Amino acid sequence: MRKLSMLALAAAMTSAALTGCGSDDTPDKPAASSSAAAGQSEGATPSAESGKPVTLTFMTYTYADRTKSTDAWIKDMKDKYNITIELQNVPTDQYETAVKTKLAAGDIPDLLMTHTISKDLTLYGTQMDPDLFLDISDVPSVSQYIPSVVADAKDNKAGKLYFVPVSTNALGVLYNKKTFSDNDIAVPTDRQAFEAASDKLKSAGLIPIAGGFKDSWTTQIIPFIAYGQYINAKDMTTRIKIADGTMKAADIADDFKKVLAVQQNWRDRGYFPKDFLGTDANVASTMVGTGKAAMLVSGTWQYKAIQDADPEAQIGFFALPLNEPGEKTVVPTSASGGLVISAKTANPEAAKLAMDVYLSAENQTRIMADLNGIPTNTQVKVDNAFVADINAAMAAGDVQPDWWGVNYYHPASLSGFAPDKEFQSLLADGTTPDRFIEGYDKGIAKALEAAK
């Protein structure tokens, strides 16, 4: 069971995002930049003091949406500490394969960005050695983070802190405020109102929802939210029971089919672009930014791609309302994934220094500016309308600590069942809900058997 109370996390994040907890308006400098930093070993800054150059390799999928902050961090490491960070940027859709290849070859970069490491130490479908990455509990900047976030990240079977999630993401609707205003549409708060708004937009000749389903990962978002509304809202332990084999999806087939039907229904009602299976996430984001489409159902991480299409566009956020009137709307959230350090690095102290600078309030302020994200570093302040919308959605909704695709989703994919591809196939009428449920249950059973 997860120890994290997401309601408390949301409240803490809201406080951190809007007010911060520092004593002045200037973010703290990295703890490791001071020789008096608590917990800093004497050997932690050899390149800064001796001028001896150190090179660290860094592989990530995040460069596209963190370009400025990543460049600034790399520059700081070079200018202040004589540490060269060699960037290996891999596109998101190729990242899992790239990591698996590195793992198989035993060629892990010094620093590696990861989407998540599961509680049972599964990394991109591979059972990892508990000693694959360094424990970063002693990195000074860790103390700046929300304690519950750090505790949850350390809540794995090894009891090690491999990474600290630097922001939380929420799933919901990113929308063009001008498009809504021009069509006299208020933010909907239940499914009936949402579908009425979508019908009105369609009648006006607009695309209600920019579905970029050429990228299979995008086909998961609506089902993830529906899973939260129709299954998790009833019992948050259901997803755990299904993942550990004490329950099957077939046992709640009606609820599962209700989850799978949402996206199919909206396809049939014409809410997506005509070429929804030929439109990728970047094109879909551009549609919303330019006003060609009104909404994109995605994660808050997609904000930058939308805003880049038109920097003057006013982009807002609201929870996707699949609820009935009077019920709370779910807000699936996740504070997962982050930067890890290879245990095989030839320069562990330099790597920990790089980690310390990366996690510092100064650097996280830059990252949050890139992401317009909600920080988990309590000394970082964020003040913008988009984050305010996210906080409002969290305050009004049923905030859930993860979604179907984070900690309790992967067992089926370990056995070769690829849910994102199956969601995509559902949209193309290449499979059925019954076959999806059957395949999902079989996938979990095979994965659990293989893990024995």
pLDDT confidence band for 413 (50 / 70 / 90): low
Query: Rounded to two decimals, what is the model's pTM?
Result: 0.71
Please report which confidence band the pLDDT of residue 9 belongs to, taking 50, 70 and 90 as the band edges: very low
Dihedral Cα 92, 97, 100, 101, nearest 10 deg: -120
Domain count across the chain:
2
More confident residue, 236 or 68: 68
In contact, 154 and 137? CB cutoff 8 Å: yes
Residues 76-89: pLDDT tens digits? Answer: 999 999 999 999 99
Please report the pLDDT score of residue 201 as a whole number: 98
- Long-range contacts formed by 181-184: CB under 8 A, 24+ apart: 183/294
Arithmetic mean of pLDDT, 227-234? 95
Residue 81 within any structural domain of the chain: yes
260 and 368 assigned to the same domain: no
Please check whether residues 87 and 113 belong to one and the same domain.
yes
- Cα atoms found within 13 Å of the Cα of residue 5, Cβ hemisphere only: 4
Q: What per-residue confidence (pLDDT) applies to 336?
A: 80
Instruction: Tell me what the mean pLDDT of segment 13-34 comes to.
Output: 33
Domain identity same for 66 and 113: yes
Note the pLDDT of residue 13. Answer: 36
pLDDT, position 119:
82
Q: Is a pLDDT exceeding 90 seen at residue 401?
A: no
Q: Within 245-384, where are the H helices?
A: 253-268, 281-290, 303-309, 348-359, 361-371
**Are 111 and 85 spatial neighbours (Cβ–Cβ below 8 Å)?**
yes
Instruction: Give the range among 62-76, 84-98, 113-127, 154-168 with minimum mean pLDDT.
Output: 113-127
In angstroms, the first-to-last Cα distance of the chain is 20
Half-sphere exposure of 406 (CA within 13 A, CB side): 23
Q: What pLDDT does 127 receive?
A: 87
Residues 225 and 133 reside in one and the same domain: no
Q: 248-263: per-residue pLDDT in tens?
A: 999 999 999 999 999 9
Query: 357-380 b/e with 16+ CB inside 10 Å = b?
Result: bbbbbbbbbbbbbbbbbbbbbbbb
Q: Are the CB atoms for 35 and 427 separated by under 8 Å?
A: no
Q: Which residue has the higher pLDDT, 321 or 3?
A: 321
Q: Tokens 């179907």, residue?
A: 404
The more confident residue out of 52 and 32 is: 52
Q: What DSSP assignment string belongs to 147-202?
A: HHHHHHHH-STT--------EEEEEEEEEEHHHHHHTT-PPP-SHHHHHHHHHHHH
pLDDT of 16 above 70: no
Residue 8 domain flag = no
Residue with tokens 């990530």: 60
Residues spanned by the domain of 446: 170-334+398-450
399 pLDDT higher than 90: no
- Residue 188 contacts residue 321 (beta carbons within 8 Å): yes
Q: Look at residue 388 and tell me if it is in a domain.
A: no
Supply the DSSP string of 64-78, one letter for each residue.
Answer: GGSHHHHHHHHHHHH
Do 46 and 116 sit in the same domain of this protein?
yes
In a domain, 107, yes or no: yes
Our measurement of the distance from residue 269's CA atom to the centroid of its chain's CA atoms, rounded to an integer in Å, reads: 29
Answer whether 341's CB lies under 8 Å from 137's CB: no
pLDDT tens-digit profile of 362-392?
A: 999 999 988 877 888 989 988 889 988 998 9
Task: Record the tokens describing residue 404, joined without a space.
Answer: 């179907």
pLDDT for res 24: 32
79 with 176, same domain: the answer is: no
Helix (H) or strand (E) holding 447: helix 433-450
pLDDT digits (tens, 9 = 90+) for 309-341: 999 999 999 999 999 999 999 999 888 889 999
- Region 417-425: mean pLDDT is 92
Q: Which residue has the tokens 């205003």?
A: 181
Residue 45 has pLDDT above 60, yes or no: no
Residue 361 sits in the same domain as residue 253 = no
One domain for residues 288 and 147: no
Residue 412's pLDDT is 65
CATH number for the domain that contains residue 35: 3.40.190.10
pLDDT at 403 over 50: yes
Over residues 380-409, the mean pLDDT reads 81
Based on the domain organization, do 282 and 314 belong to the same domain?
Answer: yes
Same domain, 139 and 213: no
pLDDT 10s digits, 210-222: 999 999 999 999 9
Q: What is the mean pLDDT of residues 421-427?
A: 96
pLDDT digits (tens, 9 = 90+) for 109-159: 999 999 989 888 989 888 899 999 999 999 999 999 988 789 889 989 999
| Shared-domain flag, residues 99 and 174 | no
Do 51 and 188 share a domain, yes or no? Answer: no
Given this model, what pLDDT does residue 409 score?
A: 52
